[in-house]
Amino acid sequence: MVPLTLLAMLIAAPIAPAPYDDAYRLPAAIVDLSDPAALSSVAGSWRYRDASLTTVDARAPGPDLRASGKPIHSQQFMPRADADDATWEMVPATALEQRRGNGKVCFGWYRLAFTVPERIGATEVKGGTLVFEVVVDDYAEVWVDGKLSPALGQSGGAVVRGFNAPNRVVLTRDAKPGQQFRIAVFAVNGPLSVGPDNFLWIRSATLELHRPLLDARSFGSVARLDPAVDALVPADARIEKVAEGFEFLEGPVWHPDGYLLFSDPNANRIYRWTPDGQVSVYRTKSGYKGANIGEYHQPGSNGLTLDREGRLTIDEHGNRRVTRLERTGALTVLADRYQGKRLNSPNDLVYRSDGALYFTDPPFGLPRVFDDPRKELPYSGVFCVKDGAVKLVSTDLIGPNGIAFSPDEKFLYVTNWDPQRKVVMRYEVAQDCTLSAGRVFFDMTSAPGGEALDGMKVDQRGNLYVSGPGGVWILSAEGKHLGTIVPEQLAANMAWGDADGRTLYLAAHTALYRIRLSVPGIRPGGPVRVAGAVP
């Protein structure tokens, strides 16, 4: 995060976040699933059955806020998504516009089965991206091969997109001829609160084939300063832009369910980005909702990470605290005071494998930063939360910011946002959270540019990736500058993402970027690896 002197240049009028994804570009070929010949080309078939609510046994909320309380009766849709459809009505492709259901508040299941062909028209399918798009009058949810995986804030894709809006689901990014898909579309008549005099029907249903772009440009470059960087950054690596239109991005973290979460502290939101290009608000008012919010430049959340159970842990700038989002939706406050005094504005955070949580606490989230009258602590600290206790472990830096462990967790690295002292500190870590033998691991003070040091991540070989002047500096475990990743906008922080952990996502000022690297990174909740060990 940045001090007040630089905030003015980072505040911009918000525009709608936009996706950058092959699945949103003009497709190479389309299969119209309402056309008999096109449906036949993918060996496709449609079926339909009405759905209705039925009374079932359930449980009331218990003390844990889950369904663990007293027995009650509730309602559930039948049939379920995984029901056998052998006896369901066969629907000709030309009959998708036929009105179904009983009108008013009604529900139904459309089932589509198809096989990936060798070609769609003249276009080869193998290796392409297949997207299913459906527009249901009025709402839809889409199950693929018996799976529905909604997430907080998700809008579209598998879940309801909106009134007569298209639901787009990426079925595969590596299509294989002969591959079979079974899609279940749950149709809902709406608006639900009205009970309208219309019925269920499909306005449009298509398969899109997208081919990889062969000439996609890179949104930036890589400065290679040492031959060792070639083992980390492939020669053909390019910086991709995957979304834009934000105010100031921070604190990204990859969720094991396959999506990226990141903060926009200026907009007071946490966003969710999925590999199909969807951007949605995961959590609004993510850091503050006080009456005086107009005084704040960055009231929202900043750093994000996951604990060993996959629960999101949040640095809340405006609320001046660190919280954990429980699976029930409740917030647990992990730290908001030290020795009775309020924290400044927690900035970045990292878990140790034993569950100890370290976080930095500069005052950059306060309206007047260091001169804010609400500031209660006389220093900017690094803290540790262990067994419920908040412990101060360092006051060495004016602006402690990014924070990360070495692969073996023997060392803790902390960056400093201070234009007069742009350093990465390294500390030895004890089991009781205390730090010792602090020393300057790397000094960037003489580097040109007004930026100081922001976020930081570490790969499984122990190399550091530090947001510094001009880009993301790649530092070896021995403290040698190997190269710099230079996106078109300076990245404030980073996260290792995708299934193999080899993609570095860059949260920059107004856009989200990524670059594929050769070595996977250390991710929250993942296994601890010894430096040098790479799968």
Residue 488 tokens, joined? 């078109």
Is the confidence at residue 5, as pLDDT, over 60? Answer: no
Which pLDDT band holds residue 150 (cuts at 50, 70, 90)? confident
In terms of residue numbers, what domain contains 477?
Answer: 4-20+216-516
Q: pTM for the whole thing?
A: 0.85
| Rg of the Cα atoms in the chain | 26
DSSP-derived letter for residue 390 is E
Is the confidence at residue 212, as pLDDT, over 50? Answer: yes
Which of 146, 180, 210 is the endpoint of a domain? 210
pLDDT at 85: 95
CA atoms of 8 and 6, how far apart (whole Å): 6
Cβ burial 42-81 (10 Å sphere, 16+ → b, else e): bebbbbbbbbeeeeeeeeeeeeeeeeeeeeeeeeeeeeeb
**129 and 233 assigned to the same domain:** no
Range of lowest pLDDT (201-210, 214-223, 511-520): 214-223
Residue type, 476: S
Mean pLDDT of the 138-158 span: 88
How many CB atoms within 10 Å of residue 260?
Answer: 26
The helix (run of H) or strand (run of E) holding residue 5 is: helix 4-7
**190 and 231 assigned to the same domain:** no
pLDDT at 69: 95
Reported in sequence order, the residue ranges of 326-378 that DSSP labels E, i.e. its strands, are: 331-335, 337-338, 341-342, 349-351, 357-361
332-312-363-522 Cα dihedral, nearest 10 degrees: 140
CATH code, domain carrying 250:
2.120.10.30
**228 and 178 assigned to the same domain:** no
**344 and 420 assigned to the same domain:** yes
**394 and 274 assigned to the same domain:** yes
| Residue entry with tokens 């350093």 | 423
Q: What is the pLDDT of residues 308-349, one digit of tens each?
A: 999 999 999 999 999 999 988 899 999 999 999 999 999 999
pLDDT at 22: 60
The helix (run of H) or strand (run of E) holding residue 183 is: strand 180-188
The answer to whether residue 78 is domain-embedded is yes
The answer to whether residue 421 is domain-embedded is yes
- Cβ–Cβ < 8 Å for 167, 183: no
Strand partners, 412: 405, 427
State how far the alpha carbon of 48 is from the alpha carbons of 80, 98, 110, in Å: 13, 11, 5
**487 and 351 assigned to the same domain:** yes
CA atoms of 160 and 153, how far apart (whole Å): 11
- Cβ–Cβ < 8 Å for 41, 30: no
Residue 321 tokens, joined? 């605290």
Q: What is the pLDDT of residues 79-130, one digit of tens each?
A: 999 999 999 999 999 999 999 999 999 999 999 999 999 999 999 999 999 9
**398 and 453 assigned to the same domain:** yes
- Cβ–Cβ < 8 Å for 202, 34: yes
Which of 169, 187, 210 is the endpoint of a domain? 210
**418 and 441 assigned to the same domain:** yes
Average model confidence (pLDDT) across the chain = 92
Is the confidence at residue 9, as pLDDT, over 50? Answer: no
Is the confidence at residue 185, as pLDDT, over 60? Answer: yes
Which pLDDT band holds residue 277 (cuts at 50, 70, 90)? confident
Cα 93 from chain centroid?
37
What is the count of structural domains for the chain? 2
- Cβ–Cβ < 8 Å for 315, 400: no
Strand partners, 201: 137
- Cβ–Cβ < 8 Å for 425, 442: no
pLDDT at 328: 87
DSSP-derived letter for residue 535 is -
Higher pLDDT, 231 or 530: 231
Is the confidence at residue 216, as pLDDT, over 90? Answer: no
Phi, psi of 231 (to 5 degrees): -80, -10
Contacts of 471 (CB under 8 A, 6+ apart): 220, 223, 484, 485, 486, 487, 490, 491
The answer to whether residue 496 is domain-embedded is yes
Higher pLDDT, 153 or 332: 332
89-83-176-161 Cα dihedral, nearest 10 degrees: 80
Is the confidence at residue 18, as pLDDT, over 80? Answer: no
Residue 306 tokens, joined? 């996951």
The helix (run of H) or strand (run of E) holding residue 286 is: none
**270 and 338 assigned to the same domain:** yes
CA atoms of 334 and 332, how far apart (whole Å): 6
